[in-house]
Structure 1
Amino acid sequence: MEPLDEATIRASFVNCSKGEARRLSLPGRLADVDWADLDFLGWRDPKAPANAYLVLPRDGKYVGLAMRAAAPHSSQLKSSLCALCQTAHAAADVSLFAARRVGNAGKLGNTVGTYICADLACSLYLRGKRKPSTPNARLTSTVDEDVARTMASLNKFVDEVLTDNA
């Protein structure tokens, strides 16, 4: 992923107001982000951990989503699978994230949800830069194939958010 600046990130959000985008917390120091290992930028607000954000390249521009995370699952015995990167984690390390739809549907409170790595670090799990909380059997696919599958799943989620079905 190409390095992004604050203005690009804030301008990318499609499912919140410009004021909300202006007020949201950005991920630490952008200069410290290892952009080469990322397929999308994902972070949670350290002051309000239920608030989460994704920014991804899409059709030559960037699309940002503001999301809300459900309360974490308390079990460390059960495992869950990230719908994007297919990484298995302890159930507490996968969260249901809901994003408000755009347009009138979003104004009416319609949301779309999916299960994603709670730390939004799918790119790092795919590349072996971060280890999941449970042993993860590696399939015979390559990192490039895993990235393509993850981005296809993420783009499908974005398609749903961009659908104003009111």
Structure 2
Amino acid sequence: MDVLGPAEIRAAFPRHERRRIVLPTEPRWEHIDFLGWIHRSGHLGFIVCRIGNGVTGLVVERNVTRGRGLRRLMCDICCTLHDKGGIATYTRWNRAQMRARSHMLCADLGCSLYVRGLRKTECVQMAETMSQEEKLGRLNDNVRRIIGNMTFVD
């Protein structure tokens, strides 16, 4: 992902949500395909992605999913399997239409790092025949699909 400054990051979000944004510490831009971080309180997540010529940002509510027993959950963006607490449900509300859309994503929003093998989970992963470039392509397609879905563009 191209380096974004604080002003560009804030401008990516809708005007009414900008007051809720707490900017992240300086990310390692060379290792990420989208910018995702968690509010210091843990109840909000922020996702910023370059789509076309623009940059789009979402503020989503975060609820860490605590599975029972040996249940494994998969991230909707990077397809990484996680044990308990490694997945969170991120929800975006459209209060005007009284609708909500949710996705299960990595609790730390570190999907790019999991795909690149820079971060590991305790869980055994499924074997895939895809190359690293194909996995990154899938990650980028999935994050754009999810952002489109959560912005309520039908």
Fold similarity call, TM over 0.5: yes
Shift of 1:81: 0.6
Which of 11, 17, 21 pairs up with 1:20?
17
TM-score, normalisation: structure 1: 0.84
- Partner letter of residue 105 of structure 2? I
TM-score, normalisation: structure 2: 0.90
1:76 & 1:150 partners in 2: Cα distance?
A: 28
Which of 75, 78, 101 pairs up with 1:85?
78
Q: Deviations over 1:22-74 (max 9, x none)?
A: 3421112x2xx21011000000011x201000000101111001000124315
Q: 1:74 to 1:140 in 2, by over 3 A?
A: closer
Identity among equivalent positions (%) equals 27
1:107 & 1:45 partners in 2: Cα distance?
A: 24
1:9 aligns with 2:9: yes
- Which residue of 2 is the match for residue 36 of structure 1? 30
- Partner letter of residue 108 of structure 2? D
- Which residue of 2 is the match for residue 63 of structure 1? 56
Q: 1:71 to 1:128 in 2, by over 3 A?
A: closer
1:115 aligns with 2:104: yes
1:40 & 1:90 partners in 2: Cα distance?
A: 23
2:131 & 2:12 partners in 1: Cα distance?
A: 30
Provide the alpha-carbon RMSD of the alignment.
Answer: 1.8
1:76 & 1:151 partners in 2: Cα distance?
A: 32
Q: Which structure 2 residue ranges, 5 or more long, are not aligned? A: none
Q: Which structure 1 residue ranges, 5 or more long, are not aligned? A: none
Q: Which has the higher helix share?
A: 1
Contact 1:76 1:90 in 2 (8 A): no
Q: Deviations over 1:99-137 (max 9, x none)?
A: 234xxxx43342211110000000000000000121213
- Partner letter of residue 51 of structure 2? R
Shift of 1:150: 1.4
- Partner letter of residue 40 of structure 1? F
Number of residue pairs aligned between Structure 1 and Structure 2 = 154
Q: Deviations over 1:138-161 (max 9, x none)?
A: 412111111111121121112222
1:96 aligns with 2:89: yes
Contact 2:17 2:59 in 1 (8 A): no
